[in-house]
Amino acid sequence: MSLRTSKLVGIFGSSNPAPPNVTLAYCLGEGLARRKISVITGGSKGISEEAAKGALSEGGKVICFLPEYEKSKKAKTISVPKGAHPFFLLEGSFKTRNMLSIANCRVAIFIEGKWGTLNELALAVDFGIPSVVFSGTGGVCSVVEDICKAVGGKNNIYFVETLEEALKIISEVLDRI
């Protein structure tokens, strides 16, 4: 699979999500796989893991970018479901992983999250990656609209409340690319 030509969507969010967001992430992975859209994650527990499991349950492709092997082994938040394709960095931290995950996706999706998720969203904006934010999921996603107002503009960010809205926007954006 070529990263350059594939329909790749990154899914980012909390490693300790609220139960409704666990279900949302799983269903999002399923919906993307049904549309033949591959998933990129940072290989963490929580949102990333559930989205990966959902995609894999429908025969989808999942790519997980991970910090270098020794750091990944020590991290308590790393989880790569069986069937996903892990890519360990030769060197690098979780921030390096975040940058590579974002840089390789065509659309980035955000559910809940804390500082790492905010870092990933900021990278997506900097790289010009269209981003879908589930604004009703809590965490940093609940304040992104306020941040956009404070800094002036949505910066290619789409705010959604439902899975159906997100899948529609993702399909439309990928069709334009």
Instruction: Specify the range with the lowest mean pLDDT, choosing from 78-82, 88-92, 129-133, 153-157.
Output: 88-92
Separation CA 75–CA 80 (nearest Å): 12
Domains of the chain: 8-176 (3.40.50.450)
User: pLDDT tens across 79-100, in order?
Assistant: 888 999 988 887 777 888 899 9
Residue owning tokens 């503009």: 153
pLDDT category of residue 3 using cuts at 50, 70 and 90? low
Other Cβ atoms within 10 Å of 77 Cβ, number:
16
Q: Which tokens in the block code for residue 26?
A: 């799983």
| Beta bridge partner(s), residue 62 | 39
Name the one residue in this structure whose structure tokens are 């020590």.
74
What's the farthest any 2 CA atoms get from each other in the chain?
Answer: 42
- Cβ(118)–Cβ(134) below 8 Å: no
What are the tens digits of pLDDT across the range 32-70?
999 999 999 988 899 999 999 999 999 999 999 887 777
